[in-house]
Structure 1
Amino acid sequence: MTTIRDVARLAEVSTATVSRVFAADTNVRPQTAERVRRAAIELGYVPNSLARGLRQQRSSAWALIIADIENPFLTQVTRGVEDVAQSAGYSLLLCNTDESPEKENGYLSIAEQARVSGVLITPTSADSRIDQLLARGLPVIAMDRPLRRALDVDTVLIDSRRAARAAVELMIGRGHQRIACVTGPQRVFTASERVLGYREALEDAGIAVDEALIHYADFNQQGGQQATRQLVGDRQVTAILVANSMMAVGVLQVLREHGIAPGHDIEIIAFDDAPWTGLLTPAISVIHQPAYELGQVAARLLLERLEQPERRARTVMLNATLPTTPELPTPRGTPEPSTNTPTILDLSMDLPDISSR
């Protein structure tokens, strides 16, 4: 039977390097990783994680359960997961819940019946019903949104609260006082976190929070439209924080219908730097979230969990970046400055260490 030592010998590397390659460790040089993979194929080597799955009568597939397949952010998360999974010899069963707890429950049942080796999920709520999977020893990784702490599962998050707070602080610094927030369903962790950051920035600046300017809606184009239609009557609103790029499309459509020019009459900062945002004139400001990296980290956590099923659960927090902002107007009634220097607000940091909860 071919062993990891055989692969290491043929590839002329250490056994530790072989393990790192099959764990999709990006610190391994690409040329070395390719040599290891070729050696494994030539020798017919099966990584330990796959062999363990066969012994337990589990497939070499993972279930990836995401909230909305049309969301560009989750598309990038999926790609990050897939790249790591494929490098480690796993395939993906992709499931789309449309933010529906009922659909999510159905896919969780399918994942159990299909005997997948693990589940990665953007849960519809903290109370998603994964208890039965955990009871059967099936590893679960929560992505972008946490599950209730009692479940004690590995989790990868992005600091939405800090990013939202910094974005609103930037708008306040430009002179905006009447700032609206368009966000997702209140039960969704990321939607609520962005509102908390929004509130904190206003309160720290001594600006009273007007609850009428906070609008919860579906995390999609229609949700953005619905929320903005409730805002356009308030001509004192000079800036809007939007929770994702899909909602931003709906926001922009309604503003255009009412003859309100983004980047001229009103400032927009939206989460997620979708490709189309740079095509607008003037462009809107966007908060970059490391979606691809989130998927990669989640997949690596699952590989770790498969190798070390008894280790303590870990949580990874990634940060977002608000890149150079386009030239934006000051609020109506404020004198225009003679020049407008783009502001760079950096919320990024090196990939954080994985810490035990």
Structure 2
Amino acid sequence: MATMAQVATLAGVSTATVSRALSGKPVSEEVAEAVRLAAAELDYTMDRTARSLRRRYSDVLALVVPDVENPFFTAVARGVEDVTREAGLSLVLCNSDDDPAKEARYVEVASQEQMAGLILAPAGPEPRLDPLLRKGRTIVVIDRLVDAPLDHVVLDNHALGRIATEHLLAQGHRRVACITGPHETSTARDRADGWAHALSAAGCTPDPELLRYATYRVDGGRTAMLELLDLPEPPDAVVATNNMVGVGLLRALSAGAGRGAPQVSVIGDLPFITSDVPGAVTMSLRPREMGVRAAQMFVERLQGMTGEPRRVVLDPTTPEPLTRLLTGGDAR
């Protein structure tokens, strides 16, 4: 069996450099390539178990998200995996179902299994992270804010709600409703605040009756939309602050789509064409970018970066942030 020393000799570098290169730590591209070629020629694999025992954690991290079936989090996971794989880490994907108790169990398992840490889209504002924090493990929070001194990667959710609403206002609508997520979720509140800000800026008083908090699920969007349609004066346009909520409200509208149907603006990419409601638009959130940046921050901390917690806020604005949804009536 080949040794690290033999790989170092063949590559013309030190054993420390071999260790750094194969662990994903910073080395020049030329050195990294020489080490990879030497390791491949000698069929050498690092003894990760022994290395993990020395440093007291493994080359595995967990990504915990509220809904693995949501394409947003699937794309986040792809971004995380692309970066962590290059750093020599393995990724375990966990689904919390937006359940704080289930999330806490995954945190406990990550601690018991001596994982390197966690990238977390929290189920609530106060995730129970003590088992990992006591051990000094690396934690990066994504998508939703928590009140803890941790690195965060989030979207400018206020801007998302504002932009989606401004589009509908620009079309001449004034009775614009908003269906958002659970009130305890920061993304839901911030996007609803953006909706209210856009209305106020346009001289329209936000109507509390037109703001609906729902689950971030298809059924939540559908139920809230049906409630809005049952109002004595239904809205003439609706902002859906989440892609799965958007699927639900479009399903509620599709049976009666056509003249008189509210115009719809959905924050997030829909997983599939779900409706024949004309005029619906979506806002792409570029979730893979969130996963990439969170994973980069995770690796940086794992490799020894210190300092104050960082908060990266991804800018949702683009030259054309709104994309018209191709529906049965529009498709060519």
Normalising by structure 1, we get a TM-score of 0.77
Structure 2 residue identity aligned to 1:157: V
Paired residue for 2:24? 22
Kept in 1: contact 2:166–2:198 (CA 8 A)? yes
- Structure 2 residue aligned with 1:318, among 314, 318, 322? 314
Matched pairs, number: 314
Instruction: Name the CA distance, whole Å, in 1 between partners of 2:275 and 2:80.
Output: 29
Paired residue for 1:261? 258
Paired residue for 1:160? 157
Structure 2 residue identity aligned to 1:82: E
- Structure 2 residue aligned with 1:291, among 283, 287, 294? 287
Structure 2 residue identity aligned to 1:227: A
How much has 1:6 moved relative to structure 2?
4.7
**Residues 24 and 244 of structure 1, relative CA distance in 2, 3 Å threshold:** farther
**Residues 186 and 289 of structure 1, relative CA distance in 2, 3 Å threshold:** same
**Residues 220 and 275 of structure 1, relative CA distance in 2, 3 Å threshold:** closer
- Structure 2 residue aligned with 1:301, among 287, 297, 303? 297
Structure 1 residues 128-137 or 207-216, which shifts more? 128-137
Paired residue for 1:276? 272
Paired residue for 1:352? none
Q: Secondary structure at the residue paired with 1:218?
A: coil
How much has 1:60 moved relative to structure 2?
1.1
**Residues 34 and 318 of structure 1, relative CA distance in 2, 3 Å threshold:** farther
Structure 1 residues 84-93 or 109-118, which shifts more? 84-93
Uncovered stretches (5+) of structure 1, i.e. residues with no partner: 329-357
Paired residue for 1:340? none
Kept in 1: contact 2:264–2:279 (CA 8 A)? no
Q: Secondary structure at the residue paired with 1:230?
A: helix
Instruction: Name the CA distance, whole Å, in 2 between partners of 1:109 and 1:229.
Output: 40
Structure 1 residue identity aligned to 2:303: E
Kept in 1: contact 2:22–2:88 (CA 8 A)? no
* Identity percentage of aligned residues: 34
Paired residue for 1:117? 116
Structure 1 position 57 matched with structure 2 position 56: yes
User: After superposition, what is the alpha-carbon deviation per residue over 1:3-43, rounded to whole angstroms, capped at 9, x for unaligned?
Assistant: 8x9599579xxx8xx86993699xx99x9987775455446
Paired residue for 2:237? 239
Q: Secondary structure at the residue paired with 1:231?
A: helix
Q: Secondary structure at the residue paired with 2:153?
A: strand
Paired residue for 1:145? 144
Instruction: Name the CA distance, whole Å, in 1 between partners of 2:25 and 2:72.
Output: 24
Paired residue for 1:134? 133
Structure 1 position 195 matched with structure 2 position 189: no
**Residues 7 and 80 of structure 1, relative CA distance in 2, 3 Å threshold:** farther
Q: Secondary structure at the residue paired with 2:94?
A: strand
Uncovered stretches (5+) of structure 2, i.e. residues with no partner: 327-332
Once the two structures are superposed, the pairs formed by residues 44-123 of structure 1 within 5 Å of their partners are 44=44, 53-123=52-122
Instruction: Name the CA distance, whole Å, in 2 between partners of 1:300 and 1:136.
Output: 21
Kept in 2: contact 1:143–1:156 (CA 8 A)? yes
How much has 1:162 moved relative to structure 2?
0.6
Structure 1 residues 86-95 or 286-295, which shifts more? 86-95
Kept in 2: contact 1:241–1:268 (CA 8 A)? yes
Structure 2 residue identity aligned to 1:128: P
User: After superposition, what is the alpha-carbon deviation per residue over 1:102-123, rounded to whole angstroms, capped at 9, x for unaligned?
Assistant: 1111111111111101111001
How much has 1:284 moved relative to structure 2?
2.3
> Over aligned residues, Cα RMSD in angstroms?
3.4
